[in-house]
Structure 1
């Protein structure tokens, strides 16, 4: 008897809906789509715990391929509003063990206040993510390079690429800044040369 194989049709990979464009302002509620009142702005400015943008944290946690961030002060809290360790712990909350993305790159500048122990937490999280799923397709890699102002001293704003979506921040990436600032999302990164720009400035520095 001749063997036979079932002809099973494999459905093409479903394309996820692309996020709509929107502008988000920082607030103690995790972000909002309009300017805060002056009273709310003052309360946030003097808060010891400015809440980052929940929508950005959710976008990172649900990333399927990549999370690339450019921000010279990403790992530094505002003066008097926590330590670099606090900031690192906040960022790690965006990277759950169930994270599907495998290419995490953080491009910032070197700060003496950020300790080796703080940076090691990212590698510990990468290993934990990789080990969380027994047959993960790709090993999760979290890389941090600190040459931003040393080798690329021409960037003012902050940016992030989450999968194919470009985010732009007027303040600290992720919406940590205590003063009134906004972020925009919903831009296709490829349409604006974001991938090429990031790769160019990333490759200027050596791996830390």
Structure 2
């Protein structure tokens, strides 16, 4: 059985954490777009990473079992998340379909720090998949490491920091590609599809 000082637990947590968050989703799409726009990147990365850390800690502490036994909570979050993602998807689709909204300078949607923070929090905390991945799934796997469960959680938390920082700050490397309006149209079209797909999956309970 792993001990409380087992460094392999941290490495395992890092790998498992990356496997859960490295995927096309609402949160990652938002971080990428903010990184490309160079708007409030630090705040967005910090919110995503700290939220993950809190959710991981909650899962390891055993709260995930309680949440799993109260399905009404997940239902409420699922409906609210689906509604928000639908609205966000509509806005992304409008940007993709309207030439006047393609340029990042012309897009003032969620441009302010306050609006950006609220949007990031909503995309993070109104998505039931986040709870299932971090609190329920990751929490269960972490607790299987016995006394080393918090080291496993530490590794998963580090993975979140590395991923979101790389996504947010690394997005600037794609700026030459997004110098063309067509690239923004394609990106916003993909974001709209992702938001709509996740919203539908939440409504259907997938």
Q: TM-score, length-normalised on structure 1?
A: 0.25
Higher RCO structure (Cα 8 Å, ≥6 apart): 2
Larger radius of gyration: 1
Higher strand share: 1
Higher helix share: 2
